């Protein structure tokens, strides 16, 4: 590759300046004089150029020149294509050692050189046989995607979505920090022995997203990363077989090739025997704790049945299956979860949980049965939807984080349908029910069955019919009152004649954080990455286009009223505020502005609707199923003006409350 003449002369001038700075001419004269002096007395043959260059090299002059003239590129090169630096790139005369260059790169990636890191690299997937005949996506075509989520010690990551295929191109790297757990030792680098004691796994969750933005949990896998501690190079590579979930938890879903690398590498590695012995000890310790708890739970259940034979039919749920088919105590699904500044109040937390879609675990073959699947929190958050148990345990965890005395209730609602919800107890003894699927709250007042016949009794305000047990992260209580009807239930948990409690010590042995290695670690909530204003504008433009095209098919013209569209914002904001706080406000201002915007003799029609997604086509299809919306979209008449407004309210985990209002105004004809 030739340089332009001006760049070549510039480079020559730089080299000449450095040679003058080194006094290269003086050094050459000295070497020449010494060479001639050494050759005196020998044959008077002329000094050759090759012998003179050998003399310069033997004295280190050439090495000094090349070292001083070493060109270090300040701007990054095209590492992927291996291209040379572009003409005009800045060069500096500075000799950077390999260690300095590594530190420079670490600073750019915000890596603390005093801490230990695990670099987990996914090198691709294979054997996803469900997608064996998936066609190659065409350019611009919308296709189903795989996304891999990771959680490790309070750190969460996600990969770029890739097209679903038998061999998906899941190729991503994740830098995981491994810190010491001792107080005041967070900045000290962990050695091999301390790393061996870190039994927290890397939780891998694979999610499939279809063309309608619907998500499916493909696999949930816990990776023990400590095999890398035995590698002399600090790096290891192996295949991870991902299993399905729910009823397919014994069926392989696919294989990921994973590479693990420690940085900085260990000075002393551990033998594979030591690592396997540690893992075996942890498994045995966990198995023993779980066995003892199971023995205790069986004895506790026998005692509960001895109180009253009808207790056999009460909904007392002690164990529940997670997405991998593993039975765990229900108390282990609840933790104290603090959301930092992502959520500001308990009611906002309830609103956030209600925005995660409700979907029962699918059952292959139907039959009307329900597949039990209490998801781990990480799988529930990544999937963005789950059953009522998932919602209730998350809401209870958040309310505990806000300092409330919260419990998950297991019972039934209308028609004997099994259901879970959340209960909080006030310091004054008041009982409040929280419906995790809707964020509705109900104040409970028990009916006194021994009261006078004519004495006024409170009417049931909640949709719940029976309650069999309540629990949180450290308490499990079974209802042993004569009736399990919610309207008759008295929630005096300290009264042993009404509620039979499990031993807190027994629960702590298997449910407390860090008590067993089989207990999934608690992931933090992630801040939203969606921009509410941009998302609102985009969805509104798409809705305008769909409505215009729909009216065009009906041979109707479409004229938009931008002012009327803007006025709808205050109504949508009031709707969301009411869902969060339960307080209705702002409607008076909206009604007044609307009256001012309507001329005499005009009629206004509006249709607000709420979604949990921001897919325009799905939203429009839902709107058209409403006769009232059809009436607005297909409005005919004199001086018809249409309006549409979208407000997207974003919560943690990109949970969205999407409010959309379609409206029209037209001149009334008498």
Residue-wise DSSP of 289-336: HHHHHHHHHHHHHHHHHHH-GGGGGS----EEE-TTS-EEEGGGG---
- Residue 631's pLDDT band (cuts 50, 70, 90): very high
φ and ψ of 597, to 5 deg: -80, -20
Judge whether 277 lies within some domain: no
Judge whether 275 lies within some domain: no
Q: How far apart are CA 255 and CA 250, in angstroms?
A: 14
Q: Which pair of structure tokens corresponds to residue 360?
A: 């029962």
Identify the pLDDT of residue 18: 67
- List Cα–Cα distances, 2 to 75, 86, 208, in angstroms: 20, 12, 51
Residue 81: is its pLDDT beyond 50? no
Q: Are 384 and 465 within one domain? A: yes
Q: How far apart are CA 420 and CA 402, in angstroms?
A: 20
- Residue 1's pLDDT band (cuts 50, 70, 90): very low
Judge whether 249 lies within some domain: yes
Examine the fold and report which residue of 270, 296, 324 is the final residue of a domain before the chain moves on: 270
Identify the pLDDT of residue 364: 63
Identify the pLDDT of residue 73: 40
In the numeric block, the tokens 């987990």 are attached to 120
Using DSSP's 3-state secondary structure scheme, residue 665 falls into strand
pLDDT digits (tens, 9 = 90+) for 518-545: 898 899 999 999 999 999 999 999 999 9
pLDDT digits (tens, 9 = 90+) for 440-461: 999 998 876 666 565 666 677 8
Residue 194: is its pLDDT beyond 70? yes
Q: How far apart are CA 377 and CA 383, in angstroms?
A: 10
| Mean pLDDT score, 284-312 | 93
Identify the pLDDT of residue 90: 38
Q: Are 127 and 178 within one domain? A: yes
Q: Are 436 and 479 within one domain? A: yes
Q: Are 183 and 301 within one domain? A: no
Examine the fold and report which residue of 209, 240, 270 is the final residue of a domain before the chain moves on: 270
Identify the pLDDT of residue 65: 66
Identify the pLDDT of residue 393: 97
**Which residue, among 536, 474, 540, has the nearest Cα to 509 in the 3D structure?**
474
Average pLDDT, the chain: 85
- List Cα–Cα distances, 581 to 344, 351, 395, 441, 584, in angstroms: 12, 9, 16, 10, 8
Q: Which pair of structure tokens corresponds to residue 515?
A: 């008590």
Query: Regarding predicted confidence, which is higher, 250 or 190?
Result: 250
Judge whether 585 lies within some domain: yes
Q: Are 163 and 40 within one domain? A: no
Q: How far apart are CA 106 and CA 16, in angstroms?
A: 35
Examine the fold and report which residue of 270, 295, 319 is the final residue of a domain before the chain moves on: 270
Considering 455-469, 498-512, 656-670, the range whose residues carry the highest mean pLDDT is 498-512
Domain count of the fold of the chain:
4
- Residue 355's pLDDT band (cuts 50, 70, 90): very high
Residue 55: is its pLDDT beyond 90? no
| Mean pLDDT score, 13-21 | 69
Q: Which pair of structure tokens corresponds to residue 167?
A: 């061999």
Quote the Cα angle for 567-571-574, to 5°. 140
- The pTM assigned to this predicted structure is 0.80
Q: Are 151 and 222 within one domain? A: yes
Domain membership of residue 22 as a residue range:
5-95
- Residue 76's pLDDT band (cuts 50, 70, 90): very low
Judge whether 524 lies within some domain: no
Identify the pLDDT of residue 98: 47
Identify the pLDDT of residue 8: 65
| Mean pLDDT score, 45-73 | 63
- Residue 21's pLDDT band (cuts 50, 70, 90): low
Residue 80: is its pLDDT beyond 50? no
Q: Which pair of structure tokens corresponds to residue 39?
A: 């050759």
In the numeric block, the tokens 């229900």 are attached to 330
pLDDT digits (tens, 9 = 90+) for 239-264: 999 999 988 889 999 999 999 999 88
Q: Are 15 and 128 within one domain? A: no
Q: Are 234 and 290 within one domain? A: no
Residue 584: give its domain's CATH number: 3.40.33.10
Identify the pLDDT of residue 302: 94
Peptide bond into 164 cis (omega under 30): no
Judge whether 546 lies within some domain: yes
Identify the pLDDT of residue 309: 83
Residue 109: is its pLDDT beyond 70? no
Residue 212: give its domain's CATH number: 2.60.40.150
Residues 271/273/278/283 CA torsion (nearest 10 deg): 140
φ and ψ of 126, to 5 deg: -155, 165
Q: Are 481 and 546 within one domain? A: no
| Mean pLDDT score, 638-643 | 91
Residue 482: is its pLDDT beyond 50? yes
Other beta carbons within 10 angstroms of residue 600's beta carbon come to 6
Judge whether 454 lies within some domain: yes
Q: Are 496 and 586 within one domain? A: no
Q: What is the DSSP string of 534-597?
A: HHHHHHHHHHHHHHHHHHHHTT----B-HHHHHHHHHHHHHHHHHHHHS---SHHHHHHHHHHH
Q: Are 10 and 84 within one domain? A: yes
| Mean pLDDT score, 382-394 | 95
Residue 316: is its pLDDT beyond 90? yes
Q: Are 467 and 548 within one domain? A: no
């Amino acid at each position: 590759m030739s340089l332009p003449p001006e760049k070549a002369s510039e480079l020559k001038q730089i080299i000449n300046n450095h040679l003058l700075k080194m006094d290269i001419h003086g050094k050459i004269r000295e070497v020449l004089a010494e060479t001639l002096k050494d050759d005196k007395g020998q044959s008077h043959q002329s000094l050759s150029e090759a012998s003179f260059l050998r003399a310069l090299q033997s004295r280190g002059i050439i090495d000094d020149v090349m070292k001083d003239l070493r060109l270090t590129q300040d701007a990054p090169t095209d590492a992927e294509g291996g291209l040379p630096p572009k003409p005009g790139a800045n060069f500096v005369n500075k000799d950077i050692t390999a260690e300095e260059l590594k530190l420079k790169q670490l600073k750019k990636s915000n890596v603390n050189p005093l801490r230990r890191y695990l670099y987990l690299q996914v090198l691709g997937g294979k054997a996803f046989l469900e997608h064996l005949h998936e066609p190659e996506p065409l350019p611009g075509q919308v296709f189903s995607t795989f996304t891999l989520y990771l959680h490790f010690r309070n750190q969460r990551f996600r990969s770029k979505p890739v097209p679903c295929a038998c061999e998906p191109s899941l190729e991503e790297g994740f830098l995981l920090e491994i810190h010491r757990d001792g107080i005041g030792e967070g900045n000290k680098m962990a050695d091999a022995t301390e790393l061996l004691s870190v039994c927290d796994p890397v939780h891998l969750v694979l999610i499939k997203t279809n063309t309608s933005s619907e998500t499916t949990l493909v696999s949930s896998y816990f990776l023990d990363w400590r095999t890398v501690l035995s590698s002399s190079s600090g790096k290891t590579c192996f295949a991870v077989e991902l299993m399905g979930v729910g009823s397919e938890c014994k069926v392989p879903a696919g294989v990921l090739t994973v590479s693990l690398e420690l940085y900085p590498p260990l000075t002393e590695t551990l033998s594979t025997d030591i690592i396997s012995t540690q893992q075996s000890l942890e498994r045995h310790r966990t198995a023993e704790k779980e066995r003892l708890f199971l023995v205790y739970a069986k004895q506790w259940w026998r005692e509960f049945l001895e109180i009253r034979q009808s207790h056999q039919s009460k909904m007392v749920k002690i164990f529940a299956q997670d997405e991998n088919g593993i039975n765990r105590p229900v108390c282990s699904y609840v933790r104290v979860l603090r959301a930092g500044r992502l959520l500001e109040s308990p009611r906002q937390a309830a609103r956030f949980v209600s925005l995660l879609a409700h979907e029962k675990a699918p059952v292959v073959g139907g039959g009307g049965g329900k597949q039990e699947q209490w998801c781990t929190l990480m799988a529930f958050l990544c999937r963005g939807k789950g059953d009522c148990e998932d919602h209730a345990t998350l809401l209870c965890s958040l309310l505990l984080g806000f300092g409330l005395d919260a419990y998950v209730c297991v019972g039934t609602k209308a028609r004997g349908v099994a259901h879970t919800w959340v209960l909080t107890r006030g310091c004054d003894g008041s009982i409040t029910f929280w419906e995790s699927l809707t964020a509705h709250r109900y104040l409970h007042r028990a009916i006194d069955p021994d009261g006078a016949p004519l004495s006024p009794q409170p009417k049931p305000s909640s949709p719940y019919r029976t309650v069999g047990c309540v629990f949180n992260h450290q308490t499990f209580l079974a209802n042993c009152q004569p009736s399990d009807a919610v309207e008759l239930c008295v929630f005096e948990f300290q009264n042993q004649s009404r509620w039979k409690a499990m031993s807190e010590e027994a629960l702590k042995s298997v449910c407390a954080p860090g008590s067993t290695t089989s207990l999934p670690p608690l992931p933090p909530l992630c801040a939203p990455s969606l921009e509410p204003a941009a998302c609102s504008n985009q969805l509104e433009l798409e809705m305008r286009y769909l409505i215009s095209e729909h009216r065009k098919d009906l041979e109707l013209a479409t004229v938009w009223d931008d002012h009327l569209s803007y006025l709808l914002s205050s109504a949508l904001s009031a709707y969301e505020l009411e869902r969060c706080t339960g307080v209705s406000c702002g409607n008076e201002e909206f009604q007044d502005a609307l009256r001012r915007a309507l001329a005499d003799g005009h009629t206004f029609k509006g249709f607000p609707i709420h979604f949990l997604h921001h897919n325009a086509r799905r939203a429009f299809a839902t709107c058209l199923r409403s006769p009232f919306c059809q009436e607005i979209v297909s409005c005919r008449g004199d001086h018809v003006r249409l309006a549409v407004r979208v407000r997207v309210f974003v919560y943690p985990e990109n949970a969205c409350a999407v409010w959309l209002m379609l409206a029209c105004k037209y001149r009334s004809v008498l």
